[in-house]
Structure 1
Amino acid sequence: MKYYISDLHLFHEKAIQYDHRPFDSIQEMHEVIVKNWNDRVTNGDIVYILGDISLRGKNEDLIAFVARLKGRKVLIKGNHDDLSDYRYQQLFTEICDYKEIQDSIGKEKYGLILSHYPIFSWKDMGRGKILLYGHTHESKEDKFYQSCLRQMQENDCRHAYDACDGKIRACNVGCMLSYMDYTPRTLEEILVGVEVKE
Structure 2
Amino acid sequence: MKYYISDLHLFHENAIKFDHRPFDSVQEMHEVILKNWNDRVTNGDFVYLLGDMSLRGKNEDLIAFVARLKGRKVLIRGNHDDVSDYRYQQLFTEICDYKEIYDSVGKEKYGLVLSHYPIFSWKNMGRGKILLYGHTHESAEDRFYQSCLKQMQENDCRHVYDKKLRACNVGCMLPYMNYTPRTLEEILEGVEVET
Deviation at 1:59, TM superposition (A): 1.4
- Equivalence for 1:127: 127
- Output the amino acid matched with 2:174: L
Alignment of 1:5-84 (within 5 A): 5-56=5-56, 59-84=59-84
2:191 to 182, 189, 194: 194
The equivalent residue for 1:85 is 85
Question: 1:162 offset after TM fit, Å?
Answer: 2.0
* TM-score, normalisation: structure 2: 0.98
What amino acid sits opposite 2:34 in the alignment? Answer: V
1:162 maps to a residue whose letter is: Y
Instruction: State the Cα distance separating 1:53 from its structure 2 match.
Output: 0.3
**Does 2:177 align with 1:180?**
yes
* Structure 2: gaps spanning 5 or more residues: none
Provide the rounded CA distance (Å) in 2 between the counterparts of 1:55 and 1:6: 13
**What amino acid does structure 2 have at the position aligned with 1:96?**
C
Q: Whole-Å Cα distance in 2 between the matches of residues 57 and 49 of structure 1?
A: 19
Letter in 2 for 1:136: T
Write the distance in 2 (CA, Å) between the matches of 1:190 and 1:158: 29
Alignment RMSD: 0.9
SS class of match (1:51): coil
Contact kept, 8 Å, 1:5 with 1:174, in 2: the verdict is: yes
Structure 1, unmatched stretches of 5+, are none
Distance 1:72 1:137, change over 3 A: same
Q: In the alignment, residue 52 of structure 1 is paired with which amino acid? A: D
Kindly provide the CA deviation profile for residues 57-115 of structure 1, in whole angstroms up to 9, marking residues without a partner as x.
65111000000000000000000000110000000000000000000011110000000
Partner Cα distance (1:31, 1:157) in 2: 49
Question: Residue 20 of structure 1 aligns to which amino acid in structure 2?
Answer: H
CA distance in 2 between counterparts of 1:187 and 1:48 reads: 11
Deviation of 1:156 (Å): 3.1
Shift of the 114–157 alpha-carbon distance from structure 1 to 2, 3 Å rule, reads farther
Shifted more, 53-62 versus 69-78: the winner is: 53-62
Judge conservation of contact 1:132–1:173 (CA < 8 Å) in 2.
yes
**Identity, % of aligned positions:** 86
AA aligned to 1:30 is: H
Q: Taking structure 1 as the reference length, what is the TM-score of the superposition? A: 0.96
Tell me the amino acid that sits aligned with residue 133 of structure 2: Y
- CA distance change for structure 1 residues 157 and 35 in 2, over 3 Å: closer, same or farther? farther
